[in-house]
Amino acid sequence: MAFKFVIASALLASSALVSADWSGTGVLQCYGHVSVDADFGEGANNEGTGKVTCTPREWDSATGLGPEAMFFAPVNGAEFEIWAWDYHPSWGFGDVMPTATCSGAVWYKTEDMGAGFCTPNKEKNWSGCGIIHCNGDIYCNDC
């Protein structure tokens, strides 16, 4: 009987490590690698309908960069966060970095505004790294 309990406990614990997709309506904030599809420019005075894709990169403390992150505030449900420092695909353990898309009211900035997750790394110092805010339909892969 104790043997069955140990196996059941091990299976339950391993099932908690499985990632799944999530979708809903609400607010997505992304700090890191982003792609914006919108007919308006970046900045504080610009907001409109668009689509964004957040693709955080694996965090490496040796670069001195802050980790990239995504914050979710669903209309129905609990808020949750995804931090790049929690995923290490390069370590070979099967981690998959979550990605998210959002279609709705978008605001974006193509820099980190001094937060330190886009610079000083030259690979990250491009217009595809910045901050987005989207209020709309969200789909998150591997959340």
The C-alpha atoms of residue 103 and residue 84 are separated, in whole angstroms, by 22
Contact 70, 82 (CB under 8 A): yes
The C-alpha atoms of residue 138 and residue 134 are separated, in whole angstroms, by 9
For 58-84, write each residue's pLDDT tens digit: 888 887 778 899 999 999 999 999 999
Tell me the pTM: 0.78
134 in helix, strand or coil?
strand
- The two tokens of residue 116 are 């330190």
Give Cα 123 distance to the centre of its chain. Answer: 18
Q: Please report, for the chain, the start and end positions of each structural domain, with discontinuous segments joined by +.
A: 19-141
3-state secondary structure 45-114: CCCEEEEEEECCCCCCHHHCCCCCEEEEEECCCCCEEEEHHHCCHHHCCCCCCCEEEEEEEEEEECCCCC
For 5-49, write each residue's pLDDT tens digit: 333 333 333 334 456 899 999 999 999 989 999 888 877 678 899
